[in-house]
Amino acid sequence: MIHNVTKQIAGRELTIETGKLANQAGGAVTIRYGDTMVLVTACASPTARDGVDFLPLTIDYEERLYAAGKIPGSFFKREGRSTETGTLAARLSDRPLRPLFPKGFHNEVQVIVTVLSADQENDADILGVIGASCALSISEVPFEGPVGATRVGYVDGDLVINPTYSQIEQSDLDLVVAGTKNAIAMVEAGASEVPEEIIIQAVKKAQETNEEIIRLQEEIIKVAAKKKMDLPDASPVDPQLIRKLTELVGDKLKKTIFTSSEKGEKDSAIGDLNTQITASLADEYSEQQVAEAFESLMTNEVRSGIVYEGRRPDGRNPTQIRPIECETSLLPRTHGSGLFTRGQTQVLSIATLGSMAEVQKLDTISPDQSKRYLHHYNFPPYSVGEVRRMGGPGRREIGHGALAERALLPVIPNESDFPYTIRVVSESVSSNGSTSMGSVCGSTLALMDAGVPLKAPIAGIAMGLVMTEDEKYVILTDIQGVEDHLGDMDFKVAGSREGITALQMDIKVKGITYEIMEQALSQAKEARLFILDQITNTLSEPRAELSPFAPRMHRIRIPIEKIGALIGPGGKTIRSIIEESGATINVDDDGTVTIGSSSQESAQVAINKIEMLTKEAEVGAIYTGKVARLMSFGAFVEILPGKDGLVHISELSNERVASVEDVVNVGDEITVLCTEIDSQGRINLSRRALLGSSEDNSTGEQNKNSSEGFSGGGRDRRRDNRAGRPNR
């Protein structure tokens, strides 16, 4: 039976329907908002996966280009592996839903979001969150939802619910909030240096809308929900085993946890203690039972120490930041490099500048066609002292890279001010807590070292939370690995001195309050300002000059009607200029030509050739050209490629000329003055007009168009970059 419900959200109908498509799935719904429509299905295996102690949940976000009326641009002309935007959209759904499954539920669960229609105005990503929540809620899968998801923009001083793509282009904020009926479950945002108080207002407004969306889901759940599968009996840790463990370890575990020793030493000491206990209890309990009990005991020690004793595992107080070191110009041949170290977290970021021809072309359902600022994040196994197979970037690497990219995007100079494609790669060479925010700081250092005129430096910090059942809580600044693993929140905040540029909040509890979020943002601001001081003490502003190995960009304008002449048949002409000069050349539809080369000589060769191809004759300009043909009444001289002008016989010399051949021959090079261009475009030239001053006058500076060079050092502080999403 088909069921559907509809509600007006921000002036558009949000419709949820079930029973029409994918009826063999455990739960299936279609969500429509405007003309954007997604199908979301949820299925679970009937039994738990053997040998796992986690929830094996997979959320796949499938972008079908037919949804936007496009054919894939690949050789195979079909969709392949998930795009970066698809991966980020899948993570957007995963993060608020994962904490809402019952503890101990270890059945495989798969949610698939398929974008069926994309109207180029309403983003499908939040529909994926809503659809996943609703599909799980009506399926047999045990799920403690539903969850709502809302996007908020900030346009001309007003908060806008579910802004369209075009509104986002003008917005200073792109914030997504997911929440249950009673609490915030997830926050993600890109912003253009927006103050904390605006962020809180936006979160509250989003949560009000989430409550409406949840009520809409409840309507369809009421009529379409299936009976939930039975949960296996929970197997709490044996209290007697805990008592025995406590007797065996005494104060050893607490002393081992609450020391300021390095992560590797501490992990080794805890591992040795666990091994000793496992051996002592081998006759009574299995290795897995002892491991679970030991983990439970350690979790209680860490959490109670933080909340009730004010002790963090490394001895810091809740707001204290680990020692910070910043360094630039580490690598001799790269365009810019920065090393950011915070405790045992260390990120090496490298900036590379390229021509505008190297922008990334996007093959997605969004209206975005390309992007010129790219951030890529790598997390090799050695960063945590492990051995594992190396491969392409996983979802975590893509997500962390996109977050750091989003944090810097609002301060990247506009193309008109800095016509470069910019790529930063952050290598996490050592990790003990929040390498993603270390990547933000490392990127700032690398970009300033490369001479990129950032509008402001950006820093990032990760905030944590430990909350007890009696509602006591402590918010932690600059969390390390154990606090992330055993805590309740990972709240990443990046921004400038003026405000926030990126947020990402993940929680392991069912939700947090506005008060917790406000306090976390306040502590994060203090930390951010402290880190910015360390960055600017190392490098106070972008370097005035680019690296000698970075390309220099020059821009010239050509008439639009000359673009075809420059490109040539099948691109033959422009390719020949590139091959001969060694420069890169990019031509825009408005006639702007950008020439890039690390050699000024190479760039000038390209500029001269382009100008000769595209320059129009001008009255009063002096040209040196070759005689192309002779007539009885004068000589035709090629002053520009494909452009001949007539030197009348009377204008060839100061003296009377009986025959043209007495003065010039075909192939001779002579200098002439353009005296007239008539209504039919015919060019009249004079050699006689120049003979009084210099018969050998060359074109010199009068025969060149001016070009604009970019060598770095500018610091334009105009705030005309918006929140702009990095293709989530």
Q: Tell me which DSSP letter residue 51 carries.
A: T
pLDDT at 172 exceeding the cut of 80: yes
Burial category of 19 from C-beta neighbours within 10 Å (exposed 0-12, middle 13-18, buried 19 and up): middle
Q: Tell me which DSSP letter residue 634 carries.
A: E
In the sheet with 473-477, reading across from the earlier edge strand, the strands are 158-161, 148-155, 173-179, 184-194, 500-507, 489-495, 459-467, 473-477
Number of H helices, E strands in the chain: 16, 30
CATH topology of domain 239-309: Arc Repressor Mutant, subunit A (1.10.10)
- What's the whole-number mean pLDDT along residues 493-513? 93
pLDDT at 717 exceeding the cut of 60: no
Contact 18, 3 (CB under 8 A): yes
| Statement: 3-224 belongs to CATH 3.30.470.20 | no
495 - beta bridge partners? Answer: 459, 500
Burial category of 21 from C-beta neighbours within 10 Å (exposed 0-12, middle 13-18, buried 19 and up): middle
Task: For the beta carbon of residue 294, count every other beta carbon within 10 angstroms.
Answer: 21
Distance CA 141, CA 227 (A): 9
CATH code for residues 552-615 = 3.30.1370.10
**Chain-wide mean pLDDT for the chain?**
90
- pLDDT, greater one: 344 or 75: 344
* Topology match between the domains 3-224 and 324-538: yes
Rg of the chain in Å (alpha carbons)? 33
CATH code for residues 622-703 = 2.40.50.140
pLDDT at 325 exceeding the cut of 50: yes
Q: What angle do CA 430, 436, 441 make, to 5 degrees?
A: 90
Domain ranges of the chain: 3-224, 239-309, 324-538, 552-615, 622-703
Q: Which residues of 258-280 are buried (b: 16+ CB within 10 A; e: fewer)?
A: beeeebeebbebbeebbeebbee
- Compute CA distances 184 → 149, 508, 701, whole Å: 10, 12, 66
Among 122, 119, 124, 65, which residue's Cα sits nearest to residue 89? Answer: 124
- Over residues 403-438, the pLDDT tens digits come to 999 999 999 999 889 999 999 999 999 999 899 999
- Over residues 7-54, the pLDDT tens digits come to 999 999 999 999 999 999 999 999 999 999 999 999 999 998 887 878
Q: To the nearest 10°, the Cα dihedral for 302, 307, 313, 318?
A: 150
Among 88, 98, 26, which residue's Cα sits nearest to residue 61? Answer: 88
pLDDT at 687 exceeding the cut of 90: yes
Strands (E), 324-398: 324-328, 336-342, 345-354, 360-361, 370-371, 373-378
Superfamily of domain 324-538: GHMP Kinase, N-terminal domain (3.30.230.70)
Element (H, E) at 246: helix 239-249
Burial category of 56 from C-beta neighbours within 10 Å (exposed 0-12, middle 13-18, buried 19 and up): middle
Task: For the beta carbon of residue 402, count every other beta carbon within 10 angstroms.
Answer: 26
Distance CA 214, CA 451 (A): 49
- In this predicted structure, what is the pLDDT of residue 45? 94
- Compute CA distances 63 → 39, 220, 470, 638, whole Å: 11, 26, 44, 56
- Note the pTM of the prediction, 2 decimals: 0.84
Q: Which residues of 514-544 are buried (b: 16+ CB within 10 A; e: fewer)?
A: eebbeebbebbbebbebbbebbbebbeebbe
- pLDDT, greater one: 707 or 633: 633
